[in-house]
Amino acid sequence: MLEIPESQTISLQAGRILTGKRIVEVFNATNPHKFAWFSGDPSEYGKLLAGRQVKSTKGHGMFVDICCDENISFSIGEGTNMRYYLSSEQHPDKYQLLIVFDDDSFVTCNVAMYGGIWVYKGIFDDRYHQLSLDSISPLDDNFDETIFDSIFKNSPKDISAKALLATEQRIPGVGNGVLQDILFNAGIHPKRKKSTLTDSKKAELFNSLKSTLKSMTEMGGRDTEKDFFGKDGGYKTLLSKNTVKRPCANCGDLIAKEAYLGGAIYFCPTCQKL
Ligand SMILES: [Zn+2]
């Protein structure tokens, strides 16, 4: 899933590679997917994109936007993988969209469990996309304790730490993936109630939110996700499907996994007491 470290990494990589290239051809899905979301009719995407030149890219929240001339953009979000291939490589068999550039290099978009691929002129009329664009990222210096305090105060009283960070889009681009290491680094159990957090624990959570996301982003995304070139990210997740039942880096206790609020949580039973 695209979360802040991946949307930043992919946007940066795509910006370096695609800026200046012109789109020559678009191929629609070879592998239709029930939970692939499109804006309008994807069979019209070829008409919208052909001839357009990539001007810039933007990663924000769980989205990557590729902005072209003539005010045309395409965006991916949530569980959509966007991958770049050289002209010497063969088109893969399965994709939901394939975009060819003027040097015959190409990009594929593939939806894993669910995700969006949207091509549009002007502004993308989507509440979550707009909310994400309008929000201050925790990577930004302007995301300070005052902003975190207001997110904290404006959430329901008995909410858990996981629900606080990763539901209702309170912090766009912080989801069930990145929250595991954020909570581990703050020593907070995902099910711990917000009301039990002392001021110093709250400060630890704020610091961990910023520093964990920064380090994930600087390392090119998490090792559980793919980058623009189809490679695993360089950030080694402390808590993820890769480390379950392995020893905790702090204390040696075994990393536990449970289902909670529509997704797995991972935690160290010793470092993150309830
Ligand atoms: Zn531990």
Distance 266 CA to ligand 1 centre (A): 11
What is the band of 31 on the pLDDT scale with cuts at 50, 70, 90? confident
* DSSP classification of residue 58: E
Q: What is the pLDDT of residue 211?
A: 98
Cα gap 208→234, rounded to integer Å: 19
Check pLDDT > 90 for residue 18. Answer: yes
- What is the SS3 assignment for 100? strand
Predicted confidence (pLDDT) at residue 267 exceeds the cutoff of 90: yes
Note the pTM of the prediction, 2 decimals.
0.96
Distance 254 CA to ligand 1 centre (A): 8
The least confident of 5-9, 28-32, 117-121 is: 28-32
List, as ranges, residues with CB under 5 A of the ion ligand 1.
248, 250-251, 253, 268, 270-271
Model confidence pLDDT, tens digit, residues 95-135: 999 999 999 999 999 998 999 999 999 999 999 999 999 99
Question: Residue 54 has what pLDDT?
Answer: 98
Q: What number is the average pLDDT over the span 243-265?
A: 96
Q: Is the pLDDT of residue 19 over 90?
A: yes
- 268 CA to middle of ligand 1, Å? 5
Which amino acid belongs to residue 83? R
> What confidence score (pLDDT) does residue 219 get?
98
For the chain, the average pLDDT equals 97
Convert the pLDDT of each residue in 138-164 to its tens digit. 999 999 999 999 999 999 989 999 999
CA of 204 to the centre of ligand 1 (A): 16
Distance 148 CA to ligand 1 centre (A): 26
- Residues ≥6 apart with Cβ < 8 Å to 95: 27, 29, 30, 31, 108, 109, 110
Query: How far does the centroid of ligand 1 lie from the alpha carbon of residue 8, in Å?
Result: 29
pLDDT at 36 over 90: yes
How remote is the CA of residue 199 from the centroid of ligand 1, in Å?
Answer: 22
The residue-averaged pLDDT of 3-28 equals 98
Ligand 1 centroid from CA 181, angstroms: 12
Span from the CA of 255 to the centroid of ligand 1 (angstroms): 8
Range 52-82 burial, b when 16+ CB lie within 10 A, else e: bbbbebbbbbbbbbbbbeeebbbbbbbbbbb
- pLDDT over 90 for what percent of the chain? 97
What lies within 8 Å, CB to CB, of 158 at 6+ separation is: 193, 194, 195
Has residue 32 got a pLDDT over 90?
no
- Residue 20 CA to ligand 1 center (angstroms) comes to 48
